[in-house]
Amino acid sequence: MADRLVSQIENIIRKASGIEHGPIVLHEPFFNGNERQYVVDCIDTNWVSTVGKFVNLFEQLLSRVTGVKHSIATVNGTAALHICLILAGVQRDEEVLSQALTFVAAPNAISYCGAIPHFVDVSPVSLGVCPDRLREYLKKIGEAKADGLFNRQTGRRIRALLVMHTFGHPSHLDELKEVCDEFGIALIEDAAEAIGSEYGKRHVGHHGLLSALSFNGNKILTTGGGGAILTNDDQLAERARHLTTTGKVSHQWEYYHDCVAYNYRMPNVNAALGCAQLEQLSEILTKKRLLASRYSREFSKVEDITFFNEMAGVKSNYWLNAIMLKQVSREQRNHLLDALNDDGIMVRPAWNLANTLPMYKNCPSDDLSVSRRIEESLINVPSSPSF
């Protein structure tokens, strides 16, 4: 059965991608616009670092696309997450709730603040934090005090929830915002994979106090390396810009810095690439959703596989398409991964759950049974917009 399934999956991927022979990568950039022209402009004018016209233009275009008032471009998505957590008030020895089914950047950014990741389970419908499970868990372990919510088991304050829009699929934002408001914790959206994704009729990023985007080389849009902070709060935006620019007080010639801060601003040459990419976002999203539709149709014919579709009321960018084994088996999942990669089809599993990594194995955690089932059964299939 395993070999038959390998053949079925490979045939579907080749049919959906239009690549009948040869290797197929997981996700590659789509350069089909003004990328070369804008990057050459940076070189010709010598404006390649963090000062230059494309940085401001990129931020303006991001705000226009997302509808979020302020966009602050950063060197990468992890830096954006780090600043989001600082601005949300996360302090040393506090806890930040986060799903274990996530890229390591999320718990790493929490650790940069001296805080402790606290892992909660996800919804099988969204792949993001499950609001019902979260509410029940906080009722069990949370203790409301005058200065915030505390974990009665550890004695530490629970400051925020960091929720991820996994593979571009929006999480249950209305319900999660309700839970956060109920328990007095900040909501931060890890939208690293979700540029172009919508919850209801709005781009993701409007529910959280702050949100983070990523423009790594394998994302929907790329700036080579890069990220951004989104917020509708004027004061937080001003503070984000200051903290990502080494805390330098604006002056014609003097170098005066008024706080410990970070060299996190995006260089102009990267922003130039991003501007050209944003001009093509609508075309890229259309291609991505058409590919997801082809996959969904073809995988529905395979008895042992479920294609992961967006939940009702959202619009996913389908950054990485995902299939799941109906019968959970890490052994079978690994066999499929080995066989398909050996055949030149680049597929990958979900991340190892963060609570299983050596540096986070002793962090507090709820029951993660849904996350474990997903980790053991999920496979990402090639998802390039050029297909």
Pairing of the two strands 116-120 and 95-99: parallel
Q: Which of 133, 198, 190 is nearest to 163 (CA)?
A: 190
267-295 residue pLDDT tens: 999 999 999 999 999 999 999 999 999 99
259 and 317 fall within a common domain: no
User: Taking 90 as the threshold, does the pLDDT of residue 1 lie above it?
Assistant: no
Domain end (from 250, 278, 306):
278
- CATH number for the domain that contains residue 178: 3.40.640.10
SS3 of 85, please? helix
Task: Give CA–CA dist 250/337, Å, rounded.
Answer: 52
Quick one: what percent of the chain has pLDDT higher than 90?
98
126 and 7 fall within a common domain: no
In the beta sheet, which residues pair with residue 341? none
Decide: pTM greater than 0.95: yes
Task: Confirm whether 350 is domain-assigned.
Answer: yes
Q: What value does the mean pLDDT take over residues 122-134? A: 98
pLDDT at 204: 98
- CATH number for the domain that contains residue 322: 3.90.1150.10
> Could you give the number of structural domains in the chain?
2
User: Taking 90 as the threshold, does the pLDDT of residue 212 lie above it?
Assistant: yes
pLDDT at 324: 98
Quick one: what percent of the chain has pLDDT higher than 70?
100
Task: Give CA–CA dist 385/145, Å, rounded.
Answer: 49
pLDDT at 51: 87
191 and 271 fall within a common domain: yes
221 and 145 fall within a common domain: yes
28-55 residue pLDDT tens: 999 999 999 999 999 999 999 988 899 9
87 and 60 fall within a common domain: yes
214-248 residue pLDDT tens: 999 999 999 999 999 999 999 999 999 999 999 99
Domain of 201, in residue numbers: 35-278
Q: Which of 163, 89, 71 is nearest to 126 (CA)?
A: 163
In the beta sheet, which residues pair with residue 145? 148
Task: Give CA–CA dist 16/366, Å, rounded.
Answer: 39
286 and 242 fall within a common domain: no
Residue 354 in contact with residue 117, Cβ under 8 Å? yes
Packing angle, helices 77-87 and 105-112, rounded to 10: 50
Token pair, residue 295, equals 């996959």
186 and 291 fall within a common domain: no
Domain end (from 254, 278, 302):
278
59 and 193 fall within a common domain: yes
pLDDT at 3: 86
